[in-house]
Amino acid sequence: MKKLHKLANPGKFYRLSEKILPWSNLLAISLCGLGLYLGLFVAPPDYQQGETVRIIYVHVPAATLASLVYAIMAITSAISFIWKNPLGSFIAKAAAPIGAAFTIIAIITGALWGKPTWGTWWIWDARLTSVLILFFLYLGYIGVWQIFEDQNKAAKAAAIIALVGAINLPIIKFSVDWWNTLHQGASIIRLDGPSIHSDILIPLIFMWLGFISYLISVLIIRIQSEITLQKIRAIQIMISEQK
Amino acid sequence: MFKIFLSIIKRDFKLSYRQGNTNLNIIVFFFLSISLFPLGVGPENELLSKIGPGIVWVSALFSSVLSLDKIFQADYEDGSLEIINLSVIPLEFFVLAKALSYWLTTGLLLVILSPIFGLILSMSSKGILYLTITMLLGTPTLILIGTIGASLAVSLKRGSLLISLLILPLYIPVLIFGVSAIDASINNVSAKPQLLLLGSLLCFSIVLSPIASAAGLRINME
C-alpha cells in the first residue's frame, strides 16, 4: 500500500513513466508490425468470409480496448474520488479521448466488416448499440471536463459520470448472450477454449498486445502533458500572486 | 426524518402550483413533439400505430431531459440547498424527495395523458394499456437518472446541453424495454420480462441515483 501511495505521486509517476515509454513504444511498433505481417500475409483467408476476415486484426483489439479503457477510467476515477488523488483523475482524463478513438475505430471497422458478411453497414442489435452508447458516454465525459472552469470540480464531476457510465460495461460484455444478436458471441475467452483456429488467433494476440503497448505509450504521453500542464498552472498562479 | 421528507415534497408542490407555468410547458412540449411526428412521417394510421409507442417514449425522454436541468437550480441559487446540506436530513433523501415531487407534478401528468396520445396515434387498446403501464414504471426512472446530470450541472450557466449529452445515453435501456414491452403486448406475446426489467431499473435508480446526485450537489457547493 505504501508503495502504491508513492506511485500515486505525480512526480514519481512522471519519472517512472519516462523509463517505460521507450519500451512500450518499441513493443507497440514491433508487435503490431509482426501481428499485421502474420495476419495479412501468413494467415489463410477464412473458408466462408474470404479475405474480409482480416478486419478482425484491427476490429477485435480496438473493440476490447474500447471497453478496457473505460474500465481503467472508471477505476482511476473511483480512486481519485475516494482518496482525493490527483493522479487518478489525470489518468482518467488522459484515457477518455483514447478510448473514444478506439470505440470509433471498432464501430467503423465493424461497419466495414458487416457490409460484406452481414450485408448491412449497421444494425441496431444489442452489441452495436451498447458500443455506440459507450461512444456517447466518452463524449459526455470529455464534455464535463471542458465545461467546468474549476478543474477540481471538473475532476469530481467527471469521476461521478465515469462511475455512473460504468454500468454500460457489463451490458456490452453480455449483450451477445442476453439478446439474440447478429453480432456473434464470445469466441476467444471461453470456458472450453477459443473457437478460433490458431492460424488466426496467434496474429490476433500479437495485434492485441501491440494495441495494449500503444495504449500504454499514448496514455503515458498524455498523462505527462497533463502533469506538466498542472505544473504550469501552479507556476502561473504563483507568479500572479507575487505581483 | 420522514417529516422533513414530506415537508420538502409539500413545499415543492406549493412552488410548482403557484408557478404553474413550467410544468404546463413540459406537458405542452410533450404534446407538441408528439403531434410533430405524424406531420413528419405522414398521417397513415397503420404506420402511426406501429411507431406510436416509440414516438410517445422518445417525446417523454426529450421533455424530461429539457425540463430537468432546473430541478435543483432554484434551491441552489437561493441558498436553501446549503441549509439542507447542513441540516439533519442527508442530501440523498433530499434528492429522493425532489425527484418524487417532481415526478408527481410532471411525470404523473404524462402518465395520465399517455392514453390520449395513444389514441391520437391510433394505437390498439391493448397497446394503450401497456403504454400507460410502461410510462408509469419508466418516467420515475427517467427523472431519477436525470437528477444525476442536473446535480452536476447545477452551478453551470449553460449546462442544459451537457445534461442531455450525459443523460440521454443512460436513458436508452428504459426506452428499449419500454417500447419493446408495448410491442410484445401488441403482438400478443407476454410483456412480463420487459415490465420486470423496467421495474428493476426503477429499483436500481431509486437506490443508486440519489447517491450519485447528492455527490454531484456536494461538489457544486464546495
A3 pLDDT above the threshold of 60: no
Cα B74 to Cα B153: distance, rounded to the nearest angstrom: 13
Give A233: exposed, middle or buried? Use CB within 10 Å, 0-12, 13-18, 19+: exposed
Q: What is the gyration radius of the CA atoms in chain A, in angstroms?
A: 20
Per-residue pLDDT at A199? 77
- Cα–Cα distances in angstroms (integers) from residue A11 to residues A5, A7, A226, B123, in the given order: 12, 9, 12, 64
Per-residue pLDDT at B109? 87
Q: Average pLDDT for residues B131-153, to the nearest whole number?
A: 91
Contact A77, A105 (CB under 8 A): no
Mind telling me how many Å the CA of A54 is from chain B's nearest CA?
32
B9 pLDDT above the threshold of 70: yes
> Could you tell me where the DSSP H helices lie in chain A?
2-7, 10-37, 56-83, 86-118, 126-147, 151-165, 168-178, 198-242
Residue A101 banded pLDDT, cuts 50, 70, 90: very high
Q: CB distance from B152 to chain A under 8 Å?
A: yes
Selected residue with higher pLDDT from B136 and A12 = B136
Q: CB distance from B168 to chain A under 8 Å?
A: yes
- Cα dihedral value A136, A140, A141, A144, nearest 10: 170
Q: Average pLDDT for residues A195-217, to the nearest whole number?
A: 86
- B170 to chain A: which residues are within 8 Å by CB? 164-165, 167
Cα A233 to Cα A25: distance, rounded to the nearest angstrom: 29
Q: Cβ of B172 and A129 within 8 Å? A: yes
Contact A130, A174 (CB under 8 A): no
Q: Average pLDDT for residues A105-118, to the nearest whole number?
A: 88
> B76-123, pLDDT tens digit by residue?
888 888 888 888 888 899 999 999 998 988 888 889 988 888 888 888
Number of other CB atoms surrounding residue A16 within 10 Å = 14
- B172 to chain A: which residues are within 8 Å by CB? 129, 133
Q: CB distance from B36 to chain A under 8 Å?
A: no
> B179-215, pLDDT tens digit by residue?
888 888 888 888 888 899 999 999 999 999 999 999 9
Residue A193 banded pLDDT, cuts 50, 70, 90: low
Contact A161, A202 (CB under 8 A): no
Q: What is the 3-state secondary structure (H, E, C) of B104-122?
A: HHHHHHHHHHHHHHHHHCC
Structural domains of chain A, ranges and CATH numbers in brackets: 22-242 (1.20.120)
Using the CB atoms, write b or e for A99-117: b if 16+ within 10 Å.
bbbbbbbbbebbbebbeee
Q: Considering only the beta carbons, identify the residue of B155, B162, B222 that sits closest to A144.
A: B162
Between helix A151-165 and helix B160-186 the angle, nearest 10°, is 10
Written as nine digits, the cell of A126 is 444489442
Give me the residue label for grid cell 420480462: B193
Please, what sign has the CA dihedral across residues A73, A78, A81, A85? negative
Q: What is the gyration radius of the CA atoms in chain B, in angstroms?
A: 18
Which chain A residue is nearest to residue B169, measuring alpha carbons?
Answer: A133
Nearest by Cα to B101 from B9, B22, B7, B14? B9
- Candidates B166, B172, B183, B211, partner chain A, best to mutate (most A CBs within 10 A): B166
Residue B68 banded pLDDT, cuts 50, 70, 90: confident
Q: Cβ of A157 and B152 within 8 Å? A: yes
Selected residue with higher pLDDT from B95 and B162 = B95
Mind telling me how many Å the CA of B122 is from chain A's nearest CA?
26
Per-residue pLDDT at B154? 86
A135 pLDDT above the threshold of 90: yes
- A133 to chain B: which residues are within 8 Å by CB? 169, 172
> A38-94, pLDDT tens digit by residue?
888 887 777 777 777 888 888 989 999 999 999 999 999 998 888 888 888 889 999
Q: Average pLDDT for residues A218-242, to the nearest whole number?
A: 89
Tell me which range, A94-108, A185-199, B182-196, is most confidently predicted by mean pLDDT. Answer: A94-108
- Assembly ipTM: 0.79
Q: Average pLDDT for residues A179-204, to the nearest whole number?
A: 72
Cα B84 to Cα B1: distance, rounded to the nearest angstrom: 12
**What is the percentage of chain B residues whose pLDDT exceeds 70?**
99
A215 pLDDT above the threshold of 90: yes
Which of 112-151 (B) contact A at CB < 8 A? 148
Whole-number mean pLDDT of chain B?
A: 87
